[in-house]
Amino acid sequence: MRIDPTVGGEYALIMPGGVIMTGHFLHLEPERSFSHTWQWQGDDEQTRVHVALTGEGEGEGEGKGKGKAHASWVEITHSGFQSETSYHNHAAGWDSFIQGFAGYLDQKQNKSAE
């Protein structure tokens, strides 16, 4: 993975199977939102991903967690597809990613509870 998290900065991700996805950052608002382009290597289609982060409930008390959200919402909007097939392929990929990420978070939570 290569990443330059600045507006205009580029990134490259090597996906399973060696497929490379690249893009550049369009918008960065720390702790709130970001957007970037998304393009598979060798494909002419360039799409856009926007991620918005919101928190609910403010932390109370001293030290760690003070002023931090108790829960976070992540809203991902992926747009600009050139075909319905591309849309469906990306939707299936996002579904798989979200399920894997949720499993990872569950494992982390279970380990911290032990």
Q: What is the mean pLDDT of each run of 10 residues along the chain (114 residues)?
A: 94 91 96 95 96 74 53 91 96 92 84 74
| 3-class SS of residue 41 | coil
pLDDT score at 112: 74
DSSP 42: T
Q: What is the CATH number of domain 1-57+70-90?
A: 3.30.530.20
Rg for the chain, CA atoms, rounded: 17
